[in-house]
Amino acid sequence: MTQMYTRKYVYDAAQRILHWWLALSTLGLMTSGFLASKMDPGSDQAFVWTLHMTVGKILVVGVVGRILWGIIGPRHARFSAFIHIKSWIESLKSKKMLSADGAFGHHPQASLSYLGFYGLIVFMCGSGFSLAAILHGEGPLAEVLLDEFKYLKIINQTHEYGFWAIVFFIVTHVGALVFHEWHDKIPIAQSIISGFQYRTHKQIKGKKNDDQR
Ligand code: HEM
Ligand code: HEM
């Protein structure tokens, strides 16, 4: 039987560009940080660390942009659209985290993971620039933290835990997208490229409007 869809333009251009800005700079930081930490000390390693700190600055621009857009952007880009307390409690009670949602906009459970990711990435910027200051005398915190070696171990360790938490986020994020594409037969992944979301007629039946969750 042919599946009938309704589509709606949900993610504006700035939100989509910022998604790829953050995704690519995060991947760049994960690769450079992981590689450099496995290299022997020397000029090659120093080059990769310099690259890591440069991509770190690019990430900060994206994070600041996303925070601003989360405050002043259109409805589906705003952080207020990420908060679905009722739905989170319901899925906690029913233990159904991956149920399909008929409303347009971010999936309620995915929204919670995005808020977590943004918190994590802000933490990575803070810890990253602290390390840059202490170990390399670089960046905006260099003047303040240059001699703070007593904090080095804990900052380095939490920065590394942050790396593994991001690995976990990406695996579950991409895994959930693949799962929903296959299970619910909806073209989800393309929405962050085209801006259009699709819902089956069966999904939106009974929803008065796309705000209703
Ligand atoms: C690899 C690093 C990636 C990271 C760090 C990442 C991060 C994020 C974040 C933070 C959001 C929320 C966007 C917002 O603020 O509005 C998001 C949404 C989204 N991402 Fe990614 N992403 C990554 C890769 C991908 C890939 C490879 C795809 C596949 C095309 C993808 C597809 C999507 C889609 C479709 C949404 C919207 C989903 C929804 O409606 O809930 N992402 N991603
Ligand atoms: C998504 C964000 C980030 C990821 C995934 C990431 C990843 C990593 C990893 C895996 C390490 C090696 C940890 C170890 O095993 O010792 C590292 C170290 C480091 N990161 Fe990041 N990082 C991120 C953001 C940043 C930012 C924004 C900066 C700021 C410039 C930064 C600066 C540094 C510095 C200075 C070090 C230590 C360098 C050294 O040991 O000489 N990182 N990072």
CATH number of domain containing 52: 1.20.950.20
Mean of pLDDT over the chain? 91
The model's confidence at residue 202, banded by pLDDT at 50, 70 and 90, is confident
Average pLDDT value for residue range 64-87: 95
| Per-residue pLDDT tens over the stretch 24-63 | 999 999 999 999 999 999 999 999 999 999 999 999 999 9
Asked if residue 212 belongs to a domain, the reply is no
In the reported structure, the alpha carbon of residue 15 is separated from the centroid of ligand 2 by a whole-number distance in angstroms of 26
Give CA separation, 71 vs 33, 49, 53, 135, 210, in Å.
31, 33, 27, 35, 20
pLDDT for 18 beyond 70: yes
The number of distinct structural domains making up the chain is 1
> Residue 150: which domain range?
5-204
Give CA separation, 141 vs 2, 121, 126, 170, in Å.
59, 17, 9, 29
Asked if residue 210 belongs to a domain, the reply is no
pLDDT for 142 beyond 60: yes
In the reported structure, the alpha carbon of residue 10 is separated from the centroid of ligand 1 by a whole-number distance in angstroms of 14
Atom in ligand 1 nearest the alpha carbon of residue 188: 35
| Closest ligand by atom to 161 CA | 2
Asked if residue 72 belongs to a domain, the reply is yes
